[in-house]
Amino acid sequence: MLKKVLKSSYRQLTAAALMIALVLGSAFTAAAAPAETDAVSSASIVERRNIRVGFFTSSGLIMECDENGANKRGYIYDYLQSIRSYTNWDYEYVYADSFAEQFDQLQRGEIDIMCDVSWTKEREEILLYPEEPLGEEIYRLYTISGSGIDESNYKTSLSGSKIAVRGGTLQSELTKKWLEETGISAEVLDIYEDEESTNALFETGEADALVELEFLAKDGWNPVTRVGASNFYVAFAKGNEIYLNEMNEARRLLDAADPYWQVNLYNKYFRQKTISRQLTEREQSWVNRHSEIVLGTYSQSVSYYEQAAPEIVADSLKQLGLQDKISITTRHFDVYADMLDALQKGEIQIAAPLISTGYFEDIDDYSIAGGVDNRIICEVERDGMSFENAKVIATIKGTYTEHYILSTVFDKEIITCENAAECFRAVSSGKADVAVMAKEAADKIIGGGTSGSGASGTAGAGIGSNNKRAGNAYDGLTIRQRGESIETGYGVNRDDAGLFMLLERAAALADNNYISDTLAKYKTVQAKYTTDDFVRENISMVFGIVLLIIILLTVALMLALVQKRKDKEYRTELSRALSETEKASRAKTNFLFNMSHDIRTPMNAIIGFTNLLERNGDDREKRAEYIKKIQTSNEYLLSLINNVLEMSRIESGKLVLDESVMDLEQFNESVFSVFGPEMAKKKLEFVKDIGLEHRFIMIDPTKLHEIALNIISNAVKYTPEGGTIRISMHEIEPTKPGHARYKTEISDTGIGMSEEFLPHIFDEFTRERTSTESKVQGTGLGMAITKKLVDLMGGEIFVESELGKGTTFTILLEHRIASEDEISRADKKAANYSGVSFAGKRILIAEDNELNAEIAIEILKDAGFELEWAEDGEACVEMLANADAGHFDLILMDVQMPRLNGYEATKRIREFEDLEKADIPIIAMTANAFAEDRQNAIEAGMNGHIAKPIDITKLMETLATVLK
């Protein structure tokens, strides 16, 4: 605080000196040339100018004001006030609702200055920019606690994450450039909407991180690192060169007077936005090891610390969200040295107050954490003596003042007294020349008056007070405030670095004046004052208070009546919400009943045909028929399970896009071919109208395949024999350059849907008819999944239907057009799937389930492989270690196994000293079938991933790719 006052005073003195110089210069010139006195004098005085300043309210403390324009505040507002001191401008504020409206006002000449304008080459043609910017707009990457991003290792933990940023902005360009320069592989989500939409994506967890301007950061956002920055300026309209020159000159004078004024202004508004609340590894380690902080307070002369210190430490814990994890126990000390000794022995974790001068931190081996409080020191003098010429100095025993004097004064005799009164008597009697003590100790002797800065007075009158309760016992003594003060703070043991870092972080997050304001609450020493005294001296005010209490009671009664009505409305709303909850519960119950039926149906077929297969195993025709029906039921049961799991993943936000090059023509043919036999069987007419300008796009083929299959399969299921299915696919005008937009319509002449059910077609757990009614099996989740997938791809889906006449689905999707290089790489990858011979290749299978191992071995033997089996990950590692180099060509590794799982087994193998064994291809063959499971396998060091149940074609393609 003292530094700020000195800087402000220095700036004001410099400005005054400059003005005096101008006046003196004017007088000198007038004396030299009296005939030109009037002209010279008017030129030497800075002319007052009326400057029209654009003002639009901006978040983040840039520019803000009340609705009526009062109480203006913010970084830019304070900046202009600083400049004003050197230009003598009078500001006239012209308001606007947005940056764009303000920019139009500037171009029309309705304002002279516009603030918060970035530099661009185009703008420089029509605007004037000063030499120095208003400031630097810093773009930071933010996370939210629990996001999984480790700030201390963000380059690694950001890999594979999603970063939200407003599309088409400078921060989007800076983010992509930063990711490229740092080598971080993360997905940038360009949100072409306002900042609220971008923030919502981040705060709901759909994005792992966010890049935003520092001054727009919100509470709860953790700044991880700086991504980039750009300058912003005060801009003038062309023709205002005189204003521009005056601002440039004012800025040079201001910088010369105080080189740090702009840094201090920036810290005033934005310092807290740069501090993260996420703990470092060392800080978290300290928290994990401690559930209590023992706080030592020193009571003599500074008893208010006993009340203030626990409150300040508690606020520090609250700033970091640790208030429920760490308790505070207070231990009081009457002797400063005893508190210091307890800190050094580890009996307490924090000591308050300790002298914060670096010299004392060094000799007494502690560190000062958090804020600092200045302790005012008084001298009690006699006969015109002063500290400088005194030979004997008295101080109070056991105080921090004694410790300070004994450690810094070596050319005088020091005597210690039991209390302040004894120090006063020592000076009065001549035993000591001067007594040095804390101001609070002197206040107790001279009456407890409040002191002003630098005040002095005689004993009995107080330092700057008129309180005479002490009488004339010490007449002739002078009490003077010393020019220096002792800075004190919160001491932490030097070995307790984790706690020191926690307190420093909390202090940075706290309000600048929090510690001084909290201490001030408990500092004031008040004289006794009775209630009768107060009433007699303030009868009018007491009457007013009584009247006010009556009014407040009346208002409280009215509010109680209003609250009663609100409570009734709340209960009504609560009842409505309960009804909705029960409705949702019934829907889920119905879904479970339907699912139970739909799961038991294929299970019954599998069990039944398995029994028939055992009885009629010798009849080849029946055996083939039974196996085919068992396989059909297997596939349907697997689709049921996949649909339920897919919806669960979508709802939890774990589903992500895995885009690659796709040939739409080839895709369409493969999808159409799936339903060809069934359409032919039902004698359905299949009409295709496909018109594509761009065949190759970047898309997630699996999810597009699922969308198409869900809609077309329903059309085939619910269209009676002899009906028609039409598919139309054409390109329409895209909304983004380099993209292609497709409109696909799938219509049928099937049974259709009722008008009542149509609004619920995309709801979860809903079907218009059960499988019992429609004779068509399904989970009722297909359309809900389809809608979620279309939304995930940024598309739209619409449905029209009429009962008994059919249904039409319309899908709009837009995707980036694949480049020639991407198409070429995709073709080469596809070509790698053929031409590999498996004869003589030996595979080690790590599988804890004997049946799964037997199935895999039989499949692979038919392909020409030689097989060996390890019953878990531990056995797999041992068998590879004991085998000769080159004995095994590949390992098929299950993930969930006892003793050692697949990921851990892979990591051990990759650490083998024998590089040939360490580099053996390893493919995950696991029931963990989702995208993140594939990613986990790759991160563990595996070369590929196969999901169970095993798709033989995919298995062979993967083996061919890896072995080739």
Q: What are the DSSP calls for 202-234, one per residue?
A: HHTTSSSEEEEEGGG--TTEEEEEEEEEEEEEE
- CA 468 – CA 460 distance, rounded (Å): 5
Residue 927's pLDDT is what? 74
C-beta of residue 607 within 8 angstroms of C-beta of residue 742: no
| Res 142 pLDDT > 80 | yes
Integer Cα distance of 376 and 484 in angstroms? 8
Q: Mean of the pLDDT values across residues 42-61?
A: 66
Q: Is 289 exposed, middle or buried (0-12, 13-18, 19+ CB in 10 A)?
A: exposed
Per the model's pLDDT, the better-predicted residue between 183 and 32 turns out to be 183
pTM metric for this prediction:
0.40
Max mean pLDDT among 38-47, 210-219, 672-681, 901-910 falls in: 901-910
Give the Cα separation of 255 and 11 in Å (integer): 10
Please report the pLDDT score of residue 41 as a whole number: 36
Place 642 in a pLDDT band, splitting at 50, 70 and 90. low
776 or 708, greater pLDDT? 708
> Quick one: which H or E segment has residue 741?
strand 739-748
Strand partners, 3: none
Across the chain, mean pLDDT equals: 78
pLDDT of residue 660: 84
What stretch of H or E contains 845?
strand 842-846
Share of the chain above pLDDT 90, in %: 18
pLDDT for 920 beyond 90: yes
The gap from C-alpha 476 to its chain's centroid, in whole angstroms, comes to 64
Question: Do residues 626 and 616 make contact, with C-beta atoms less than 8 angstroms apart?
Answer: yes
d(CA 633, CA 627): 10
From the CA atom positions of the chain, what is the Rg in Å? 40
Residue-level pLDDT at 567: 81
- The structure tokens listed for 488 are 């004190």
Alpha carbon distance 556, 944 (integer Å): 71
239 pLDDT more than 80: yes
CB-based burial of residue 742 (10 Å sphere; 0-12 exposed, 13-18 middle, 19+ buried)? buried
Name residue 339's amino acid.
M
Q: Is 466 exposed, middle or buried (0-12, 13-18, 19+ CB in 10 A)?
A: exposed
Residues 190, 193, 199: CA angle, nearest 5 degrees: 75
Residue pair 905/876 in contact (Cβ under 8 Å)? The answer is: yes
21-30, 99-108, 469-478: least confidently modelled range: 21-30
Provide the greatest CA pair distance for the chain.
133
Rounded to an integer, the average pLDDT of 247-255 is 91
- Helix, strand or coil, per DSSP, at residue 499: helix
Contact 758, 806 (CB under 8 A): no
Pairing between β-strand 162-166 and β-strand 209-213 as defined by DSSP bridges: parallel
The letter for the amino acid at 615 is R
461 pLDDT more than 50: no
For 393, the token pair is: 């100095």
Per the CB < 8 A criterion, the answer to whether 437 and 378 are in contact is: yes
Task: Calculate mean pLDDT across residues 35-57.
Answer: 60
Token representation of residue 101: 């409206």
Query: Which CA distances in Å does 433 have to 378, 399, 413?
Result: 14, 19, 10
To the nearest whole percent, how much of the chain has pLDDT over 70? Answer: 77
- In angstroms, the CA 164 to CA 367 distance is 40
**Tokens 């402000």 sit at which residue?**
8
pLDDT single digits (tens) 322-332:
888 899 999 98
CA distance 873 to 176: 41
Confidence of residue 7 (pLDDT cuts 50, 70, 90): very low
Give the other-Cβ count within 10 Å of 864's Cβ: 11
* Distance (Å, whole) CA 701 – CA 310: 60
Rounded to an integer, what distance in angstroms lies between the CA atom of residue 775 and that of residue 547?
Answer: 80
Per-residue pLDDT, 35: 38
CA 888/CA 844 separation, integer angstroms? 7
Kindly give, in sequence order, each residue whose CB lies less than 8 Å from that of residue 437, ignoring residues fewer than 6 positions away: 301, 377, 378, 380, 395, 396, 399, 401, 420, 423
| pLDDT at residue 472 in the model | 46
- Cβ(759)–Cβ(737) under 8 Å? no
Two structure tokens written together for 590: 């119905």
Asked if pLDDT for residue 501 goes beyond 90, the answer is no
Q: Using 50, 70 and 90 to split pLDDT, how confident is the model at 756?
A: confident
Structure tokens at 254: 């201001």
CA distances from 301 to 312, 396, 460, 589, 599 (A): 19, 9, 19, 71, 80
Preceding omega of 353 cis (within 30 degrees of 0): yes
Q: Give, in degrees to the nearest 5, the angle at Cα 607 between 606 and 608.
A: 95
Write out pLDDT tens, residues 616-638. 767 777 777 777 777 766 765 66
CA–CA distance, 409 with 90 (Å, rounded to integer): 54
Q: Which residues contact 18 (CB under 8 A, 6 or more apart)?
A: 253
Peptide bond into 949 cis (omega under 30): yes
For residues 258-281, one letter each, b for 16 or more C-beta atoms within 10 angstroms of the residue's C-beta and e for the rest, the string is beebbeebbeebbeebebbbbbbe
Question: What beta strand segments (E) does 463-546 contain?
Answer: 477-493
DSSP for 330-394 reads: EEEESSHHHHHHHHHTTS-SEEEEEE--HHHHHHTTEEEEEEEEEEEEEEEEETT--TTT-SEEE
* CA 102 distance to own-chain centroid: 31
CA 385, CA 426: separation in Å to the nearest integer? 14
Residue 15, pLDDT score: 41
**What residues does 868 pair with on adjacent strands?**
844
What tokens does 759 get? 């609004």
Q: Which of 702, 647, 700 is nearest to 813 (CA)?
A: 700
Residue 937: is its pLDDT beyond 80? Answer: yes
* pLDDT given at position 5: 34
Q: Is the pLDDT of residue 870 over 90?
A: yes
478 and 381 Cβ atoms separated by less than 8 Å? yes
| 262 neighbors 135 (Cβ within 8 angstroms) | yes
Write down the residue that tokens 């195993």 correspond to.
617
3-state helix, strand, coil in the chain (%, to 5): 50, 25, 30
Q: What is the pLDDT of residue 583?
A: 66
What letter represents residue 87's amino acid? T
The H-assigned helical ranges of 65-112 are 75-87, 99-107
